[in-house]
Amino acid sequence: MMYPLKFKPYLCEKVWGGEKIAPFKGIFTTRNRIGESWEISAVPGHVSVVDNGPLAGKSLTDIMISNGVELAGKKVIEKTGTEFPLLIKFIDAKSDLSVQVHPTDELAARTNPGQKGKTEMWYVVGADKGAKLLSGLTQEITPEEYEEKVQDNTITDVLGRYEVHPGDVFFLPAGRIHAIGAGSFVAEIQQTSDITYRIYDYGRLGLDGKPRELHLEKAKEAIDYTVFPDYRTDYVPKKNAETRLVSCKYFTTSLFDIDKPVSKNLSALDSFVVVMCVAGKGELVDNEGDGSVHRLEIRQGETVLVPATSSTIEFHPDGAMTCLTSFIE
């Protein structure tokens, strides 16, 4: 039987990166401008490596090939194949990220053969005073008007601008223009895909001192030009209970804000569960279908992959703890 897995984080230096990820995760690094910590990844070239237990040193991809049904679930394997289907990140924006969009699966298959599109979500872990996120269009524009607004640097004038606070949630289906603003620290759950079409980058230079590439034509085709009245995901938080945040065909994500033990029954799920601890600390107890029990400490900044063989998971906070869980229904 499998057991809960922790992975070595992959730290990505970005031109817009900040200095919050290392202390948040309780790690030491001499690197500056860490923009992203890839917690769980099957993206080629950046595949996660197990950091605990008998499987330490093995890659997520190798485990999916050898023990995919046990780890991910039969239903998930039949649906998405042996590539682990989610990419899990923490993102720290010291300055504004580029305005961008991601393709649907269908468009990705045409423009990037063999790759998937990218639907994702943000959970705001922390935010400086006045920090903002951009999401969606606030008025109808045509593809031609999109081109004009990019050229005259007014594309951000037609994007939804939201001041954010810890606990805010944004769902970003493929095709929705978006950007993370300076001072935002977010947890990101997304499809396993690294396709980004950059639309506008404020004229800045990359880490190599050169202007970063824009993908204006690909973005024009990828954008969903539908206008919605609000792009923030509303939810009513429940203390010491599961609060559903987002549910789509790619992932379902819930929030556990607890100060006493809470359990979740997984016996009928037939899916892995990703647990991201975004505040506090405690113990995660995994009860496997064969009767075995695994206990491991989890603290702010850590991510755990609970296998599909688990029958229940228990959250035991040390005082208080806030976690996100993600799985595939």
Over residues 257-300, the pLDDT tens digits come to: 999 999 999 999 999 999 999 999 999 999 998 999 999 999 99
Q: What percentage of the chain carries pLDDT values higher than 90?
A: 92
Catalytic residue numbers?
198
Average pLDDT over residues 168-180: 98
Average pLDDT over residues 232-254: 97
Diameter of the chain measured on Cα atoms = 63
Single-letter code of the amino acid located at 147: E
- Supply the pLDDT for residue 36: 97
Q: Which of 128, 120, 121, 119 is nearest to 166 (CA)?
A: 128
CATH 2.60.120.10 fits 242-327, yes or no: yes
pLDDT at 1 > cutoff 80: no
Give the mean pLDDT of the chain: 96
CATH 3.30.365.10 fits 5-222, yes or no: no
- 242-327 shares the fold of 5-222: yes
The residue written with tokens 């924006």 in the block is 93
Please state the three-class secondary structure of the chain as a single string.
CCCCEEECCEEEEEEEEECCHHHHHCCCCCCCCEEEEEEECCCCCCCCEECCCCCCCCEHHHHHHHHHHHHHCHHHHHHHCCCCCEEEEEEEECCCCCEEECCCHHHHHHHCCCCCCCCEEEEEEEECCCCEEEEEECCCCCHHHHHHHHHCCCHHHHEEEEECCCCCEEEECCCCCEEECCCEEEEEEEECCCCCEEEECCCCECCCCCECCCCHHHHHHHCCCCCCCCCCCCCCCCECCEEEEEECCCCEEEEEEECCCEEEECCCCCCCEEEEEEEEEEEEEEEECCCCEEEEEEECCCEEEECCCEEEEEEEEEEEEEEEEEECC
Burial class (CB in 10 A: 0-12, 13-18, 19+), 54: exposed
Q: What is the pLDDT of residues 175-215, one digit of tens each?
A: 999 999 999 999 999 999 999 999 999 888 788 888 888 99
The residue written with tokens 């190798």 in the block is 62
> Other C-beta atoms within 10 Å of 44: how many?
11
Domain ranges for the chain: 5-222, 242-327
- Supply the pLDDT for residue 112: 85
- Supply the pLDDT for residue 74: 97
Beta bridge partners of 65: none
pLDDT at 30 > cutoff 90: no
Q: Which of 187, 185, 176, 170 is nearest to 40 (CA)?
A: 187
24 within 8 A of 74, measured Cβ to Cβ = no
CA dist list (Å): 287 to 35, 36, 73, 101, 272: 35, 32, 16, 40, 13
Burial class (CB in 10 A: 0-12, 13-18, 19+), 172: buried
pLDDT at 114 > cutoff 90: no
Single-letter code of the amino acid located at 89: K
Average pLDDT over residues 128-146: 97
Q: Please give the structure tokens belonging to residue 104.
A: 């649907």
Single-letter code of the amino acid located at 267: S
- Supply the pLDDT for residue 296: 96
Cα dihedral across residues 182, 325, 78, 42: positive or negative: positive
- Residue 205 or residue 253, greater confidence: 253
162 within 8 A of 234, measured Cβ to Cβ = no
Beta bridge partners of 200: 99
Confidence of residue 83 (pLDDT cuts 50, 70, 90): very high
